[in-house]
């Protein structure tokens, strides 16, 4: 079995990762292509390709005659999936790789809002004491997590540690789990008025495109905050800006945008009740360590003829 990896420098496949793969499959030959030219030489004999969602080129498919399976190092693969729909290739993603860093990122947003830390920093910059600012607590607040996959579960776990009530929507909703109230997405209009924080944690699909717009923002509390760590396409950015300007919601924390980088002329930059981060909520020094564990889990299942844990349904898009 020949496995080829082609990754950006910041996602390097280190020797320890190669050893971990070989420990799962001793007969595997693992090659790391540093350039696309090297990749094209390796692809004709490659059975499994490890690559990035963003760097993938459709032209590779014409060369990769023996390719059976692509392991994406990303969790969301909306840029890769269209190229594979007409093929027999299997695609696995790295769902779950971001759960820890994104969960902490979301809690960081919430603490910035509740404890007025952004305002405190601004006071510090002006040598002002500013002790009169109104601070709050996460304890007792309600968070609504829209999309309850691996990342949503990670966010829920940390929110519960802070004493928050956790509500979530999930397509395959059944009974509540671990003290978390699970609902169908169709119940969103009834759930939004309950939430102090609304967190989007959804894949980017045709079904989720702009699912959050003016109507949804109008159903939120005036005191509620909106957080998007999913994809920019899931929320209507113009409707969000209007809701913020009109005071229909208290604020927003955004890691993803309809256009990235966020254009300098966007009104979001100047809003004091908005926190902007550059699509880095999932970044961590342990990214590749976790991704390789996910890949090895898939590899073990593949060799045993069992369903791979993060196999992507190309029709659904996740």
Q: Which residues of 112-144 are buried (b: 16+ CB within 10 A; e: fewer)?
A: bbbebeebbeeeeeeeeeeeeeeeeebeebbbb
CB burial of residue 181 (10 Å; 0-12, 13-18, 19+): middle
The residue among 293, 260, 297, 299 whose CA lies nearest residue 276 is 260
Nearest to 101 by CA among 292, 286, 310, 295: 286
**Tally of CB atoms within 10 A around 223:** 11
Give DSSP secondary structure letters for 204-231: --TTTTT-B-HHHHHHS-TT-EEEE-S-
To the query of whether residue 153 is one of the catalytic residues in this protein, the response is no
Count the Cβ atoms, other than its own, within 10 Å of residue 61.
Answer: 17
- Active-site residue identified among 100, 153, 231, 237: 231
Assess contact for 265 and 243: CB atoms under 8 A: no
Instruction: Choose the catalytic residue: 78, 260, 265, 290.
Output: 260
Concerning whether 12 is annotated as a catalytic residue, the answer is: no
- Say which of 157, 160, 279, 290 is annotated catalytic: 279
Q: Which two tokens stand for residue 31?
A: 């090659």
Active site residue 279: yes
> CA gyration radius for the chain?
22
Task: State the catalytic residues.
Answer: 231, 260, 279
């Amino acid at each position: 079995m020949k496995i080829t990896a082609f990754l950006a420098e910041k996602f390097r496949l280190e020797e320890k990762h190669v050893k971990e793969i070989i420990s799962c499959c001793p007969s595997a030959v693992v090659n790391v292509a540093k350039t696309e030219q090297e990749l094209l030489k390796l692809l004709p004999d490659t059975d499994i390709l490890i690559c990035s969602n963003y760097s993938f080129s459709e032209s590779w498919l014409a060369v990769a005659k023996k390719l059976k399976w692509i392991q994406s190092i990303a969790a969301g693969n909306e840029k890769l999936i269209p190229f594979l729909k007409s093929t027999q290739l299997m695609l696995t993603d790295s769902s779950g790789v971001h759960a820890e860093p994104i969960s902490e990122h979301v809690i960081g947003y919430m603490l910035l809002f509740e404890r007025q830390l952004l305002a405190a920093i601004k006071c510090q910059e002006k040598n002002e004491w500013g002790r009169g600012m109104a601070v709050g607590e996460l304890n007792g607040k309600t968070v609504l997590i829209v999309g309850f996959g691996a990342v949503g579960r990670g966010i829920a776990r940390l929110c519960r540690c802070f004493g928050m009530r956790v509500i979530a929507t999930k397509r395959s909703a059944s009974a509540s789990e671990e003290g978390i109230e699970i609902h169908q997405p169709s119940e969103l209009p009834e759930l939004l008025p309950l939430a102090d924080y609304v967190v989007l944690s959804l894949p980017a699909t045709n079904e989720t495109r702009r699912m959050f717009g003016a109507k949804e923002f109008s159903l939120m509390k005036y005191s509620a905050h909106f957080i998007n760590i999913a994809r920019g396409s899931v929320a209507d950015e113009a409707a969000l800006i209007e809701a913020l300007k009109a005071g229909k919601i208290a604020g927003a924390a955004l890691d993803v945008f309809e256009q990235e980088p966020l254009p300098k002329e966007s009104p979001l930059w100047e809003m004091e009740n908005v926190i902007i981060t550059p699509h880095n909520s999932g970044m961590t020094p342990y990214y590749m360590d976790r991704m390789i564990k996910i890949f090895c889990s898939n590899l073990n299942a593949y060799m045993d003829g069992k369903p791979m844990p993060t196999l992507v349904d190309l029709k659904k898009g996740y």
